[in-house]
Structure 1
Amino acid sequence: MLMFNRSQPARLHYMANGFRVLSQGDHVVCAVSGEKIPLDALRYWSVVRQEAYATAEIATQALAKK
């Protein structure tokens, strides 16, 4: 059985319809707010920027900036 630290951030590759786990962990960090996002709650990310967002509002604000 694979074991890992429950407070360790995961490294992900974000794709259009999901993500691939590159390094095991239990969460990612929001690129804007710094909030920890559990992997099972991750819903918003940018494929182009390869970053995660905690909420739809944060994602919209981040993607509106160029």
Structure 2
Amino acid sequence: MNRHENGFGGSKAELVYGDGEYHVVRKGTFVVCAVTGANIPLEDLRYWHADRQEAYADAAAALKRELELRGQE
């Protein structure tokens, strides 16, 4: 269990992802990776897709999602 599970240490944030930045709609300490389901602390959030409004835990997760949608996985 990590610090973001079961309400310990934070809550899920709701964001609107833009090009190079995001805006907080609902305050929280983490978002969930669209590929892995892992909780991503906001201070560690570096990868997202603005058109899809999805967050990714890392570059590998972002690439995996892109390949899935292109039918190349």
Q: Percent identity?
A: 42
- C-alpha RMSD of matched pairs (Å): 1.3
Gaps spanning 5+ residues in structure 1: where?
A: none
Alignment pair present for 1:47 and 2:47: no
Deviations 1:20-60 (A, max 9, x none): 00000000000111100000100000111101000101101
Structure 1 segments of 4+ aligned residues over 2 angstroms from their partners = none
Relative to its length, the structure with more strand (as a share) is 1
- TM-score computed with the length of structure 1 as normaliser: 0.87
Alignment pair present for 1:27 and 2:36: no
Relative to its length, the structure with more helix (as a share) is 2
Gaps spanning 5+ residues in structure 2: where?
A: 1-7
* Residue-pair matches, total: 62
CA contact (8 A) 1:7 1:26 kept: yes
